[in-house]
Amino acid sequence: MTQVLLPIDRPDAWPARLISLLDSLHELLLDSQIAPTKVNPPDHDRAILAVGDALRPYSITGWHCTRLTDIEIAQIVGSGMQLPDDTMLRRRINALVKSGRLPGDIGDRLARTNQADESNRAGRLWFCFFPPHRAGEHGIGRFFRHSGGEALYNSHEDDPVTSQILCAIGTPCVIEADVPVTSLAPGTGLATKLVRTYLISRGYGTHEPVKHVDRSVQPIVADCIRQVIRYPETDFMELTGCATWRRPPLDGQ
């Protein structure tokens, strides 16, 4: 990993060059938040784009909540995270069938009925760039309860047969990775959240969100994978806050 790690929630640890840029734009950025009618929209857009460009050399730590088999964990640690799509899901299903973890007829059902090629999933690896427990059980709980992620559970969690089988495969996991900013989908979301964090550090109060969720549109190489944290390891419990959930991440616990 060649990018420098940027702790986006700690302005006191940001590089001097980034702080200098934000300081030079402080008045414009503050007016954009508290008095947007005073700001010429093109000026605001140029400022946000300048901040976005300044973030390109960096990586930011993100967490991906999922459920994985031991083989899948080893593949991620050894080869990184690949972009999901229908072909990848079918490979995962076929591997489970070949290993005896999944009956062939169920594998066929899963391969036929899924959302792997939905536009908001295919070719995207989603991360929260804040400790996942801040999203609560409502925000992350479902990711841990079925193997195959949203691509499968949205189609099968209410099915009395396939849901039970998917709940028995794999272990709830959090993948911790340093995600290059350049791998994220184009947009101004990260720069906008970072600007708000900067302004808060300068005494500005806001109810606008600073927690950032984003998607990588490039594979995450193995060097960027910090660790895969499994339930019920201590780090998993602390990162997710699942000890207080209504339903535990692992069925039957």
Domain ranges, ordered by start, for the chain? 4-59+185-213, 61-178+222-240
In this prediction, residue 206 has a pLDDT band, given cuts at 50, 70 and 90, of confident
Rg for the chain, CA atoms, rounded: 20
What is the number of alpha carbons within 13 Å of residue 250 lying toward its C-beta?
14
- Average pLDDT rounded to a whole number, residues 239-247: 97
To 10 degrees, what angle do helices 189-201 and 16-24 make? 90
For residues 153 and 61, the model is more confident at: 61
Cα–Cα distances in angstroms (integers) from residue 65 to residues 1, 141, 149, 252, in the given order: 22, 9, 9, 19
Half-sphere exposure of 123 (CA within 13 A, CB side): 5
Strand partners, 4: 58
Residue 159 phi, psi (nearest 5): -85, 120
The helix or strand, by DSSP H or E, that contains position 111, with its residue range, turns out to be: helix 104-112
For range 21-35, the mean pLDDT:
96
Helices 26-34 + 41-54 axis angle, to 10: 120
Banded pLDDT at 2 (limits 50, 70, 90)? low
124: left (phi over 0), alpha (psi -120 to 50) or beta: beta
pLDDT given for residue 251 in this prediction: 61
Give strand pairing partners of 118: none
Q: Percentage of the chain surpassing pLDDT 90?
A: 93
Specify burial of residue 17 (Cβ count, 10 A radius: 0-12, 13-18, 19+): exposed
User: Percent of the chain beyond pLDDT 70?
Assistant: 98
CB 3 within 8 A of CB 58: yes
- What is the pLDDT of the chain when averaged over all its residues? 95
